[in-house]
Amino acid sequence: MYKVIMPKLGMTMEKGIVERWLKKEGDYVKKGESLLEIMTDKVTIEVESYHTGYLKKILAEEGEEIPVTEVIAYIGEEDEKIPEEIVRKKITPLEVSKEEKVKVKVKVGEKEKIPIEKIIAYEKEKEREIKKSKEKEEKITEVKRKRILASPLAKKLAKEMSIDLSKIYGTGPKGRIVKADIIRAAEETKLK
């Protein structure tokens, strides 16, 4: 006898709703064949059988909300007898009792009191995030500064005259180094 359980489809999934059984008790089921549809808070999906055999007992009714890993059905051989405890077993769906419903009181408009330590910790965390963001921006700006804008002629002249472009201030559009900047730099190095 094989167990069919409510699958856990995600890290945060705690329960699923049996949307619809695609097979009924006594039906032959092949491994990989769709057994039922379940609905989570995000998606409705078909659940396949991991075993070949006959759907011997359905424990979860359509529309019931069942916790993950809870047995919802059994698959077995055609002549296999269902143990008495399985026949009598019925899952308790996740449902709030009437008693619990009455006990819940909602206070509308009441403000939550937050301890000062939590507020301070929150503010410090915000400051750290802002600081990290500024550091990241500075690094990006630094990388942009390392990229030297120079005209092809200025690059050629600088190479011929062995002039370091990173030490020259460009006077062209958007700070681009132009021929005149290279000539000026060459004259300044001659004077030194």
For 162, the domain range is: 146-191
Identify whether 123 is part of a domain.
Answer: no
Identify whether 41 is part of a domain.
Answer: yes
More confident residue, 81 or 158: 158
Mean pLDDT across 21-31:
93
For residues 98 and 94, give the distance between their C-alpha atoms in angstroms, rounded to a whole number.
13
Structure tokens at 191: 């004077």
pLDDT tens-digit readout, 95-140: 544 444 444 444 444 445 566 777 777 788 888 888 887 777 766 6
pTM of the model: 0.46
Q: For residue 68, which of 118, 129, 4, 115 has the smallest C-alpha distance?
A: 4
CATH value at residue 49: 2.40.50.100
CA distances to 152, 167, 191 from 170, rounded to whole Å, are 13, 10, 20
More confident residue, 144 or 29: 29
One domain, residues 11 and 88:
yes
Q: What percent of the chain has pLDDT over 90?
A: 21
> 């939590």: which residue's tokens?
118
Domain end (from 75, 93, 111): 93
Question: In total, how many domains does the chain have?
Answer: 2
CATH value at residue 171: 4.10.320.10
Got the DSSP string for 134-182? HHHHHHHHHHHHHSPPB-HHHHHHHHHTT--GGG----SGGG-B-HHHH
What pLDDT is recorded for position 94?
52
Q: Tell me which amino acid residue 141 is.
A: T
One domain, residues 150 and 73:
no
Identify whether 103 is part of a domain.
Answer: no
Identify whether 24 is part of a domain.
Answer: yes
In contact, 158 and 152? CB cutoff 8 Å: no
